């Protein structure tokens, strides 16, 4: 009962820009801001320091989990090529779920910065048999979008579909596909733009090769190039407006 009350209170607190259906609120931990511990919290503190050093207007803000954080490792050369001449910040944190992103957006990770464009890709860590249902994941991603819209009203959001995972067809991919189909409805062609580039990582038989995702989840340098090339037309078109 207490958990349900907290969920309801959170929903009411963001209802001024409501895209979150009420039936998905009760009992859904994906929409309740939650702090990380250990390395996740250390990364959060590091991001706060980086943000303090980059106050004001920036071109690009990348928000997400380990796949986004990976721009700093496997994706570093591609990042330098595509974003090195732009003022871009990466605030991805490995293992983050929607609830963790909600918490850190309230606790310093975007304070004092004003991105022209925010690229958001989150939700894969909420999926899985022992985690959240598709409606709960959908509500969690929507809550993150709402938080960005309320905290950074001047930014445009490029909401990416959750990337496919698993070397072959599997039930988890099905969950992700269902969530992405619903997320596409958030695209208003003004403030929020939805783009699903998941197909670009797949082979013609539906498999994902080790050359693109070595563990069938995280991207290789070639995978990051696919990501960058897939979103560059949108980025260049909107930053050059």
Residues with a known catalytic role: 66, 215, 218
- 46/67 Cα distance (integer angstroms): 18
3-class secondary structure, 110: coil
Q: Which long-range contacts (CB under 8 A, 24 or more apart) does 235-241 make?
A: 235/60, 235/117, 235/119, 235/158, 238/116, 238/117, 238/156, 239/59, 239/60, 239/86, 239/116, 239/117
| Encoded tokens for 216 | 């069938």
Q: Count, in order, helices (H) and strands (E) of the chain.
A: 8, 5
| Encoded tokens for 119 | 């690229």
Residue 195 pairs with which residues in a beta bridge? 160
Interior CA angle at 143 toward 189 and 201, to 5°?
A: 65
């Amino acid at each position: 009962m207490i958990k349900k009350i907290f969920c309801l209170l959170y929903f009411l607190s963001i209802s001024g820009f409501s895209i979150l259906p009420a039936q998905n609120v009760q009992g859904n931990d994906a929409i309740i801001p939650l702090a990380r511990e250990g390395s996740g919290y250390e990364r959060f503190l590091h991001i706060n320091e980086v943000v303090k050093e980059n106050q004001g207007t920036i071109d690009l803000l990348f928000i997400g989990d380990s796949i986004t954080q990976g721009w700093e490792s496997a994706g570093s050369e591609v990042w330098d090529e595509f974003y090195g001449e732009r003022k871009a910040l990466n605030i991805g944190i490995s293992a983050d779920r929607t609830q963790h992103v909600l918490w850190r957006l309230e606790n310093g990770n975007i304070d004092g910065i004003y991105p022209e464009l925010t690229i958001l890709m989150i939700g894969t860590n909420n999926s899985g048999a022992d985690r959240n249902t598709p409606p709960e994941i959908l509500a969690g991603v929507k809550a993150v979008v709402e938080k960005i819209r309320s905290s950074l009203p001047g930014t445009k959001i490029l909401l990416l579909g959750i990337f496919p995972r698993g070397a072959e067809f599997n039930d988890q991919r099905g969950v992700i596909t269902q969530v992405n189909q619903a997320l596409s409805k958030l695209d208003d062609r003004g403030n929020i733009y939805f783009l699903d580039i998941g197909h670009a990582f797949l082979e013609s038989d539906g498999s994902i090769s080790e050359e693109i995702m070595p563990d069938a989840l995280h991207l290789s340098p070639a995978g990051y190039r696919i990501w960058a090339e897939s979103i560059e037309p949108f980025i260049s078109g909107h930053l050059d407006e």
